[in-house]
Amino acid sequence: MRLKHVLRPAVIISNLVAWLVALLWLLPFVGLFMTSTRPFEEVVLQGWWSLAGNYTLANYVEVLTDPQYDLATGFKNSFIVALPSTLAPLLIAALAAYAFSRFSFTMRNLLFVTILVIMAIPQQTMVIPLFFLLKSMGLLDQLLGVILIHSSWGIAWITFFMRNYFSMLPRDVEEAARVDGASYATIFFRIILPLSLPALAAAAAIQFTWVWADFFFALIFLYSPENMVITQKVVTIKGQYQIDWGLLSAGSILAMIPPVLVYAALQKYYLRGMAGWVTGKG
């Protein structure tokens, strides 16, 4: 009982601090949402945080329906890039991670260290060689080129992520399956992958969010209006001579929705996967 009384104030304080951090984190989004629901004149005259005003969804309707902004094309291209750039590296990295965690082969440690080095390389340092590589392959200003770049970058960190998770899985079930004559492919696809659903969901949520929110690679490698992704399309809303903050805020919020929905759908698995990865890492 005495221990509970000692811990209770600490628990209360930690919860208050967590709520305070969450509220501070939400403040920019609240300001963005308020701006997105107000006319241009009110935002300019009254500022972002004024509670008085005429709130409306007109900015959302305009930014979605006006062909000048063409957000529909941006959404379509972003999905075309983000989905394969999430699923392909997830499968390839899972196979590689299983090999690293279960098999002994020549230069295994060297290959794994190479993956860690690749993770540490800043993306900005690789832009010039990647530009000429895509140009020589005829993939410059093509969605496939950006998909390959995101996939290659995703394979490295997902392999590291999944290898730690596979290392903590018990091997008794795999050994029993081997005794029953199951092949390694059967064990991987029918036993390991179902057991690894939390880690796979966590990796998928992170990879999808990173690819969807990417602006750097898209800016360098995609320049035709019909190939631009949503992050590029949102930037074009600002206009040449003035910035309509309401329209820009509405477009930004719309661009946020897909990764938020992905995280919400995978939240349960995401938390379990991250907890498992930390346990395996330790």
Class of domain 67-281: mainly alpha
Higher per-residue confidence, 115 vs 2? 115
pLDDT at 132: 94
52-106 tens-digit pLDDT? 667 888 888 888 888 888 898 999 999 999 999 999 999 999 999 999 888 888 8
> Looking at residue 42, what is its pLDDT?
78
* Helices assigned H by DSSP within 121-244: 127-137, 143-167, 172-179, 184-187, 193-195, 197-213, 216-221, 230-235
Q: Is the pLDDT of residue 23 over 80?
A: yes
Owner of token pair 């999430």: 86
The torsion region of residue 106 among left (phi > 0), alpha (psi -120 to 50) and beta comes to: beta
Place of tokens 């010039």: 128
Q: What is the pLDDT of residues 199-221, one digit of tens each?
A: 898 899 999 999 999 999 999 99
Query: Cα separation of 134 and 145, whole Å?
Result: 6
Tokens standing for residue 53: 């005003």
pLDDT digits (tens, 9 = 90+) for 142-198: 999 999 999 999 999 999 889 988 888 888 888 888 888 888 888 889 888 888 888
Q: Among all chains, which residue has been given the structure tokens 């990865």? A: 277
pLDDT of residue 40: 79
Per-residue model confidence (pLDDT) at position 237: 86
Predicted confidence at residue 1, as pLDDT, reads: 47
Return d(Cα 130, Cα 151) in angstroms, integer.
13
Roughly what angle, to the nearest 10 degrees, separates helices 267-281 and 143-167? 60
CB 63 within 8 A of CB 129: no
pLDDT digits (tens, 9 = 90+) for 255-274: 999 998 988 888 777 666 55
The percent of residues in the chain predicted with pLDDT above 90, rounded, is: 34
Q: How confident is the model at residue 141 (pLDDT cuts 50, 70, 90)?
A: very high
Rounded CA gap, 241 and 214, in Å? 26
Q: How far is CA 10 from the centre of its chain?
A: 34
| pLDDT at res. 86 | 96
